[in-house]
Homo-oligomer: A and B are copies of this chain.
């Protein structure tokens, strides 16, 4: 087992100084061609590669981006990571991942671990617990220490950093309008509790769409599911709540659900009740994941372009990292949603 070779070892072997080796390898013309060739040959022979850690220490930058997300087994977040990774790699950055598991404490711990030199900047989406507790000190501290943050999807406006969001309001509005124009008369929404900003916005879009068409929104048709239900163990409870919704409002002919799982479950319940999709009931979901695409019938859905979100976030962060001037300005980029029509609507 040959250990990694360092400049020092090459220097000793060739009987020159470390500086000479370093310069030779970087093609400095301070060094004679002879020596340069000799050093390079030796370096190639022994597979010399500069030690990243030493470089990081010297340059005070690590060329790595920290990603902090609530969970990874999730189509949207994986897509975002894919987007980040792609542009990060292209620009010579690595990507290091922390999972908060929707827990405030894990979010804080992870941030502290990564913030101490391991990374140059953060791309993150806030955990539900943090949103609920509304304690954002760890973000503000990190920022005030000079480490840039880019937030995506779940954001909070009070934090002064770049943000990449999807236009949740307009996205859901588009979806509901689609249902209205498809002649749905009683449109229900299956959404989450309000403290998750995206849930709140999507609900708001639903209401605005109805208002725009002079339809009165009925609270009966708004089902706010306890968000713990996204953890898929609670699927039975979710199913039951939706079943209740349908039974109490048998005239529902359109459903807008703020995520894939809710939409799919709504379809399942509808089928149990013998409702034909899309003839008797039309369904639209949010998040274009694998479920929407492969469900039967396949699900019309509002795509968030997760990969794009990740890519833009990475670009914003790297731009900030590599700009000389200290730009205190914060940007918010809105990624447009897209309604992908499939079989669950007419």
Contact = CB atoms under 8 A, between A and B. Distances in A.
Interface of A: 1-4, 47, 49-54, 56-57, 62, 64, 71-75, 78-79, 81-82, 85, 89, 94-99, 110, 112-118, 141, 144-146, 232, 261, 264-265, 267-268, 271, 289-291, 293-296
A296 B53 CA distance: 51
B72 A81 contact: yes
Contacts of A57: 51, 53-54, 57
- The residue in A94, A110, A114 that gathers the most chain B C-beta atoms within 10 A of its C-beta is A94
Given A2-B144, A271-B296, 8 more contacts: A3-B145, A4-B116, A4-B117, A53-B53, A72-B72, A74-B78, A89-B99, A232-B290
Given A2-B144, A53-B117, A79-B73, A295 B293 contact: no
B2 A116 contact: no
Contacts of A82: 71-73, 99
A265 B290 CA distance: 12
Contacts of A98: 94-95
A56 B51 CA distance: 11
Contacts of A64: 96, 118
Contacts of A94: 96, 98, 113-114, 118
17 contacts: A4-B116, A4-B146, A53-B62, A53-B117, A53-B118, A72-B78, A73-B78, A75-B290, A85-B97, A94-B98, A95-B96, A232-B293, A264-B294, A289-B290, A290-B290, A294-B295, A295-B296
